[in-house]
């Protein structure tokens, strides 16, 4: 199993950030995603956009990490957007009925 997970961060300005996730988000890598996300949630950050275009697989620990991000965004009053979900990742969100809870966009528009 590939445990490589990489990130590309693009600060649009002081209040908007785009985080590209590259690799599989599993129990072995979700902690790294959490470490990338948590510092982004500040009261000055208005939008955190996470693109998953290069994620082929995500297990329940990856979903739990993103749910945590959603909770942090609600605490700080910012917008937390997911985009570019591949069909198999989108299916995981649908099965968990989280596709209606998250702000999910088809393409990366940040």
Per-residue model confidence as pLDDT tens digits over 67-84: 999 999 999 999 999 999
| Counted domains in the chain | 1
19 lies in some domain: yes
Q: Inform me whether the pLDDT recorded for 1 exceeds 70.
A: no
Q: What CATH number does the domain containing 14 carry?
A: 3.30.750.24
| pLDDT mean across residues, the chain | 92
Is position 110 within any domain? no
Nearby residues of 41 by Cβ (< 8 Å), 6 or more positions away = 48, 69, 72, 73, 75, 76, 78
When pLDDT is averaged across residues 18-35 and rounded to a whole number, the result is: 96
Residue 88 resides in a domain = yes
Strands, E, within 1-110: which ranges?
A: 5-13, 16-23, 47-54, 79-83, 103-105
The answer to whether residue 16 sits within a structural domain is yes
């Amino acid at each position: 199993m590939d445990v490589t997970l990489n990130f590309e961060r693009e600060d649009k300005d002081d209040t908007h950030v785009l985080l590209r996730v590259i690799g599989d988000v599993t129990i072995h890598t979700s902690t790294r995603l959490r470490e990338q996300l948590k510092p982004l949630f500040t009261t000055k950050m208005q939008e955190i956009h996470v693109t998953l275009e290069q994620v082929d697989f995500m297990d329940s620990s990856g979903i739990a990490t993103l749910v945590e991000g959603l909770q942090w965004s609600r605490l700080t009053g910012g917008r937390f957007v997911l985009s570019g979900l591949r069909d198999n990742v989108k299916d995981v969100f649908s099965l968990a009925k989280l596709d209606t809870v998250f702000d999910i966009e088809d393409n990366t528009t940040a």
